Amino acid sequence: MLFLLFHLGPDCYALEAGQVAEVVPFLSIKQIPLAAAGVAGILNYRGDIVPVIDLSALTLGRPAAVRLSTRIILVNYPDSHGGTRLLGLIAEKVTETVRLERSDFADPGIANRAAPYLGPVAATARGMIQWIEAAKLLPGSVRELLFQELSQR
């Protein structure tokens, strides 16, 4: 399987490349006042309004650092109707991909109910890589709010 690698702080994470629609430069985002934790705002992507989550804000409690390698990863996020919608994920150091097998990943042995999107880990030559399960990023209430508001426009 092919994975897109990125960093949250000093740690390396991976998204399955099959979920990634496109990786775009860190663009201007319209902030949403009083949005849920981790919601950076919305962006105009080829005429479509796409909600954007800042993975650093969601997981570390601080916004992503603005670097040349900070990107918005557009993923196909499952909606509640069996389809998918684009969701933008701001991540740091989005610079490479790696091939790993599902069997390369192991349960980390630590359950984190506050972050159900943190999946298994793989020990590689470059260090530990944790799999982010994009479908589990948003609590149901946030998912419904983001995508319901967009569909009503």
3-state secondary structure of 116: coil
Rounded to 10 degrees, what is the CA torsion of 9, 56, 29, 41?
A: 180
Tokens of 152: 């009503």
Q: Where are the domains of the chain?
A: 2-151
Main-chain dihedrals φ then ψ at residue 88, nearest 5 degrees: -90, 135
pTM confidence score: 0.88
With contact defined as beta carbons under 8 Å apart, do 40 and 26 qualify?
no
Q: In CATH, what class is 2-151?
A: mainly beta
| pLDDT at residue number 115 | 84
Provide the β-strand partners of residue 30.
42
95-127 pLDDT, tens digit per residue, is: 899 999 999 999 988 878 888 889 999 999 889
| pLDDT at 45 exceeding the cut of 60 | yes
In the chain, what is the straight-line distance between the N-terminal and C-terminal CA atoms, in Å? 37
| pLDDT at 40 exceeding the cut of 60 | yes
| pLDDT at 147 exceeding the cut of 80 | no
| pLDDT at residue number 141 | 66
